[in-house]
């Protein structure tokens, strides 16, 4: 009798593992690829036949001619295989020094204006592709100067890239840095 119960338990475990560990994930993945192809493939952005990035993962832009995203502690910066925050406590001197340095850098760009918090603090994943509209507008003068275009042109481009709250009330307004920078590169052509 104990042997029968053991065999039932083994069969149940195997069937459950196959159904829930193989068949169900394959079905959900298949439905996702049919119904939501772009999202299931990672919201990849293709320009001139080349994948330039994902709408969901930030990239490190450092030149003055580009908008900068949030700081990233993920690997060497925006490394999707090492997604994580820095895990430094608010009292940690390394974190304080990094933030102080970032604030000083951005404050020098726009004297007398407060630095938007998302330009100096990392997201929980370290991969956030978006910044607030205020953070984008804060950088508009630097970008316009580096690209030798009117600041009004850059600000209008930022306005076009502001993604509103979902359904009008969920989340915050945001600007995708990669998409904005790609459009900036399109201005020069």
Nearest to 141 by CA among 131, 132, 153: 153
What pLDDT, on the 0 to 100 scale, is given for residue 41? 75
Phi, psi for residue 78 in degrees, rounded to 5: 55, 35
Partners of 130 in the beta sheet?
Answer: 176
Helix (H) or strand (E) holding 102: helix 93-109
The pTM (predicted TM-score) of the whole model is 0.77
Tokens 């205020």 found at: 134
The Cα–Cα gap between 148 and 78 comes to: 29
CA separation for the pair 139, 106 (Å, rounded): 9
Per-residue pLDDT of the chain (189 residues; tens, 9 = 90+): 778 899 999 999 999 999 999 999 999 999 988 988 877 777 788 888 888 888 888 888 888 999 999 988 776 777 777 777 777 888 889 888 988 988 998 998 888 889 999 998 888 777 888 999 999 999 999 999 999 999 999 999 999 999 999 898 898 999 999 999 999 988 765
């Amino acid at each position: 009798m104990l042997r029968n119960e053991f065999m039932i338990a083994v069969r149940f475990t195997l069937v459950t593992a196959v159904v829930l560990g193989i068949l169900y994930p394959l079905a959900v993945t298949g439905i996702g690829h049919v119904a939501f192809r772009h999202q299931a493939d990672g919201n990849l952005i293709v320009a001139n036949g080349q994948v330039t990035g994902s709408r969901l993962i930030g990239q490190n832009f450092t030149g003055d001619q580009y908008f900068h995203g949030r700081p990233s502690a993920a690997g060497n910066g925006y490394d999707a295989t090492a997604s994580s925050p820095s895990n430094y406590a608010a009292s940690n001197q390394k974190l304080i020094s990094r933030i102080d340095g970032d604030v000083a850098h951005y404050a020098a760009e726009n004297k007398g204006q407060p630095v938007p918090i998302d330009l100096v603090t990392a997201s929980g994943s370290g991969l956030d592709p978006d910044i607030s509209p205020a953070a984008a507008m804060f950088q508009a003068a630097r970008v316009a100067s580096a690209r030798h275009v009117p600041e009004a042109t850059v600000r209008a481009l930022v306005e076009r890239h502001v993604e509103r709250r979902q359904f009008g009330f969920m989340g915050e307004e945001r600007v995708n840095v990669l998409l904005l920078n790609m459009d900036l590169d399109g201005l020069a052509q």
